[in-house]
Structure 1
């Protein structure tokens, strides 16, 4: 047993000398197709630099690129920065060569100041080869959607698990909200892919994750939007998660605005609740935490797992402007490039006055 073990260790060391990827003990890389897949995978990860992503046409099939500009649904696992470019250590936990592809399971993690391993995501990548032996990625969603169903209502394709009973009433309500939004903002319909599940963890698995830091905890409505490819993933709120659809329609119109989230909260609430529900929770928190400084609104982003105070405040600001000047007020609001400019021009409030101003408005709106 010593000789095979030594050979495996030497193979791991040899691989790690030319790769940013680490191999967990026991991962077998001796097969030719596995070596090819690993080199391909390593080159792909090496191509990420900050928010820049490599030429995806070198790694994905034309069919996948026709469906999505960003076919890799694992890139934005945590935030708007690519998972592969945030300095996390990629460790391959599992490799298996199958008939259609090589399956690679990778842990992305880092060590904290005490040396404890903090896992951010565990991903699944599938690498096939074409007729010319050229490797390419296969989207996990292509595999995982086989057991899902689809129903199209107007401009929305609803994808849902086979054990979910489709709610036509909620779907019609979403379409009604979309039509109203289109008329108000003078927009044309956008063809949206809407993936829904009763459990948000199921949506992460659909995209190809075994785990992300966003998974687990108590079930609550949540979702993410993707205005690059006009798709949303909505967990726990069925067919009418309008918040994420608003992002698909309006985010692209106001790329430089710091308050785009406010529009989605104004129209669609947040985490399944309207603005006022969240402002009541924020108001109670502020009463109990007089030290909280709202003049640094970007830093005030967490009170508990059920309310994002920053989003609630943004929604409140949009509500105040909408009640005063309607849709034209919202369009004006979205032109500001910083919070300082927004509050000074829209409310005549300086940074020094902001904490008192926001506390007062939150209390008024909450009560």
Structure 2
């Protein structure tokens, strides 16, 4: 057995070392005592991490019953090996740092992505996930279900909320009402959203298996999400443990993503919708427009056509940015919806992803409400002056 294992491990090591992103074994790590199981586990982990750099749907080593919960972690691992600073696609290598048996045929696995520059180690990310033995291999899941197995669950329409101790029921009802209004516009009827409520971004990360990620250094509040088929998973990490507040702006984006990838829609138009329907950073559309009128359109010599695409922030800070382009699109959307209904807005959203030339954007704008590059300035001023 020992000789067979040694030969198998040697061959496996040669194979792994031939790979650009092979799994590194910490010399002090304690693996399962069964040498065959240990070899199968490490081989499966390596294959899983290699597959994690491809689209989620192509990863065949994800536990079938926890796909969406695992995809949210895979999104964080995808691209982790690349360093823009050092201009290397595989600068950070995956190191197996811990394997803990948690149940029969189940292990908690910890991986750290490390790189070395001038003899100084740099940690890019550290993750943990669960290995489930199936037949003669292992499949993997995030730690989300395990870490929240004792949480409470509340269903509200097509939404399910997972929370640890208590939740604001009146805020949930307010959320459901607004979500239903967005769903009606978007003709959403068979989509389901699951929300996990956490106190801050650090707690959110640990819940899904992110022990550390360099890109999130010092981040205290954020949201992560993933989607599959007719289901979307959303993790709230912005003082959201009891759901005492929610952002209507983000809610618009979440509901839109149920019917189409936001990468496929024109972002400034999408943001215009979010401004109009949900405000931004807790500021209502009315107050956003007041700021815009004071800080931007007070310049009566403004050339809107020449400035479209510069994205010059008129918000209070970089973190709470507000963009003139989004305000202009909110005005256009308001006019389109009044004249053409939301079908017109949907057509506008789908004129194609944002591009600097904006050719498709202007074609759609002219078709829908007669605004072209030629009359852009005059029409924009007209909409601004007529907005109350």
Runs of at least 5 residues in structure 2 that lack an aligned partner in the other structure: 1-9, 83-88, 299-305
Question: 1:194 touches 1:234 (CA, 8 Å); kept in 2?
Answer: yes
1:79-104 superposed Cα distances (whole Å, 9 cap, x missing partner)? xxx34575452332521231423332
The structure-2 alpha-carbon separation of the partners of 1:40 and 1:335, relative to structure 1 and needing over 3 Å to count, comes to: same
Question: 1:246 touches 1:267 (CA, 8 Å); kept in 2?
Answer: yes
Question: 1:321 touches 1:330 (CA, 8 Å); kept in 2?
Answer: no
Question: 2:192 touches 2:232 (CA, 8 Å); kept in 1?
Answer: yes
1:312-337 superposed Cα distances (whole Å, 9 cap, x missing partner)? 45642442123212224422321211
After TM superposition, the structure 1 = structure 2 runs for residues 144-163 of structure 1, keeping only pairs within 5 Å, are 144-162=147-165
Secondary structure, aligned partner of 1:307: coil
Alignment of 1:333 onto 2:348 = yes
Q: Tell me which residue corresponds to 1:181.
A: 182
Q: Tell me which residue corresponds to 1:342.
A: 361
Secondary structure, aligned partner of 1:40: helix
- Counterpart CA distance in 2 for 1:223 and 1:55 is 25
1:182-208 superposed Cα distances (whole Å, 9 cap, x missing partner)? 233333253210112221221121111
Question: 2:266 touches 2:350 (CA, 8 Å); kept in 1?
Answer: no
- Counterpart CA distance in 1 for 2:115 and 2:280 is 31
Alignment of 1:62 onto 2:64 = yes
Secondary structure, aligned partner of 1:126: strand
Q: Tell me which residue corresponds to 2:266.
A: 258
Alignment of 1:321 onto 2:332 = yes
- Counterpart CA distance in 2 for 1:365 and 1:147 is 54
Shift of 1:213: 4.2
Shift of 1:138: 3.2
The structure-2 alpha-carbon separation of the partners of 1:77 and 1:284, relative to structure 1 and needing over 3 Å to count, comes to: farther
> 96, 99, 107: which one pairs with 1:96?
99
Q: Tell me which residue corresponds to 2:113.
A: 108
Secondary structure, aligned partner of 1:152: strand
**Max radius of gyration: which structure?**
2
Q: Tell me which residue corresponds to 1:307.
A: 320
Aligned length: 337
- Which stretch of structure 1 is more off in the superposition, 35-44 or 132-141? 132-141
Secondary structure, aligned partner of 2:257: helix
- Counterpart CA distance in 1 for 2:116 and 2:375 is 41
Cα RMSD of the aligned pairs, angstroms, is 4.6
Shift of 1:297: 4.8
Alignment of 1:140 onto 2:151 = no
- Counterpart CA distance in 1 for 2:220 and 2:101 is 35
- Normalised to the residue count of structure 2, the TM-score between the two structures is 0.68
Question: 2:107 touches 2:132 (CA, 8 Å); kept in 1?
Answer: yes
- Counterpart CA distance in 1 for 2:180 and 2:321 is 28
Runs of at least 5 residues in structure 1 that lack an aligned partner in the other structure: 1-9, 288-292
1:5-64 superposed Cα distances (whole Å, 9 cap, x missing partner)? xxxxx99986862452353754426543443222101112223555x34644x3133322
The structure-2 alpha-carbon separation of the partners of 1:138 and 1:336, relative to structure 1 and needing over 3 Å to count, comes to: closer
> 253, 278, 291: which one pairs with 1:268?
278
- Counterpart CA distance in 2 for 1:278 and 1:159 is 33
Q: Tell me which residue corresponds to 1:47.
A: 51
